[in-house]
Amino acid sequence: MLGFLFGIAFAFFAYRALHGRRFARGGYSRRRRRREWALDRLSSRLDTTPSQDRVLGEALDEILEAFAEERGSFFRSRSVFSAALRGETFDGDSLSDLRGKQDEALGRVHSAVSEALSKAHSVLDEGQRSTLAELIERGPHGHRRCHARAA
């Protein structure tokens, strides 16, 4: 029995040593795991070369960074909505200011996505581009969706 427990402990620590810091605090961030998952999926589905993987990785980094930077401007809107409702009179000016800030943030995200898609378009061949377009159109879990909800 004791040998069995030592065997399990050895297997755990060997696995942990082989896979680096993923188990430690501050290991892979959620964003890094999402990036690696997306790149692995793209690479396998598109059958890309290492040079194409590098460019796709840069493009994905640009998109994720743009979303991360502008994410706060959309989540802060809840406090503006509640402040507009709490006042003695409805504050529509704060909502229009919020809309302007969100439009600017959305514009920055659109430009980052446009640049990233341009980079991806330049390195992929026609078949890879059509496969990527289908993946984008269906979404990350498109093969599981019920297509009867189409409007």
Q: What angle do CA 142, 143, 147 make, to 5 degrees?
A: 75
* Sequence-separated (6 or more) residues with CB below 8 Å from residue 108: 66, 69, 70
Q: What angle do CA 116, 119, 125 make, to 5 degrees?
A: 130
Judged by DSSP in three states, 57 sits in helix
Confidence (pLDDT) at 44: 87
pLDDT at 92 over 80: yes
Q: What does the pLDDT look like over 62-90, one tens digit per residue?
A: 988 898 888 888 888 888 888 888 888 88
Rg (CA), the chain: 23
Boundaries of every domain in the chain: 29-138
- Report yes or no on whether pTM surpasses 0.85: no
Per the prediction, the chain carries an average pLDDT of: 81
Residue with tokens 């969100």: 102
How far apart are the C-alpha atoms of 86 and 91, rounded to whole Å? 9
Q: What is the mean pLDDT of residues 104-116?
A: 92
Confidence (pLDDT) at 19: 62
Confidence (pLDDT) at 108: 92
Query: Highest-confidence range of 9-13, 18-22, 71-75, by mean pLDDT?
Result: 71-75
Confidence (pLDDT) at 36: 86
pLDDT at 114 over 90: yes
Contact 128, 46 (CB under 8 A): yes
CA distances from 53 to 46, 119, 125, 145 (A): 10, 12, 13, 28
- Of the CA atoms within 13 Å of residue 61, those in its CB half-sphere come to 7
Show the tokens assigned to 40. Answer: 């692995």
Please report how the helices 50-75 and 30-46 are oriented relative to each other, as an axis angle in degrees rounded to 10: 140
pLDDT at 124 over 60: yes
